[in-house]
Amino acid sequence: MTNKLNIGAIHLFANTEFLASINKTFGSGGGVKLMAGSSDFSTDQIKNPKISKSDEEMIRKVYNDNIYKNYSLGMLKNYFQNVNDLLVKESYLELREVSKTAELKNLKKEILYVPDYNKVTYKPSKFVDEAISEKGLSILLQDYKGKYEFISSSALDAKILTGEPIYYLRYVRVNNRKFFQVVNAKSGEAIYREYAAGMGTYNLEGQDFKDLYKNISN
């Protein structure tokens, strides 16, 4: 741990069910110092009797359960590609950067793949995710005039891992921050990056897709 050097970061989109379980732990007066996905917890530390049973369970979930929406093998490959490219170029990228590349024009003809996890929306009053109806999904994407398809995580992984030249939506919510990106699955590059923060801005909105298509058209 003393020889660790931080060179990059990846935002992880945790399932609301997992976040709710952490919230209950904190509410009962407990709560682990949890940096989800961090290497700060070793096996020896998990066995430390000072850690409560509920905290130990949370740590084990981080390492063993599928609690992240954007942590599949395919997406992880693209994250590593992106970090590696930055290292090779000796370049820096601010995670909140708003940008677009000329490659975005390809979506005038290409399909935008939307991962299935985007078929739910977060309800803060209930601290749960709720499924969006088919009508709701149509309304959400009604201003995106290009071609799009919803896709399962396993099917998306297969396309990424075989190097298929496709584009997909990478939406990540971290607390009240929203990262809305379009990724080239072959290169790992985000050809479109949008960022928003604040109350009421963290869920996907029709305006996100409207702005995306406007940029594609322009």
Q: Which residue has the higher pLDDT, 110 or 22?
A: 110
Q: What is the largest CA-CA distance in the chain?
A: 59
Count Cβ neighbours within 10 Å for each residue of 134-144 and write b for 16 or more, e otherwise: eeeeeebbeeb
Determine the angle formed by the axes of helices 153-161 and 73-89, rounding to 10 degrees. Answer: 40
| pLDDT of amino acid 59 | 82
Contact 174, 11 (CB under 8 A): yes
DSSP letter assigned to residue 133: P
Q: How far apart are CA 27 and CA 167, in angstroms?
A: 41
- What pTM was computed for the model? 0.86
**Given a cut of 60, is residue 170 above it in pLDDT?**
yes
**Given a cut of 90, is residue 26 above it in pLDDT?**
no
Proportion of the chain above pLDDT 70, given as a percent? 87
3-state SS of the chain: helix, strand, coil percent to 5? Answer: 40, 20, 40
Q: Name which of 132, 165, 167 is nearest 147 in CA terms.
A: 167
| Alpha carbon 90 to chain centroid, angstroms | 25
Token pair recorded at residue 166 = 């496709």
| Residue 1 one-letter amino acid | M
17: confidence class by pLDDT, cuts 50, 70, 90: confident
171: confidence class by pLDDT, cuts 50, 70, 90: very high
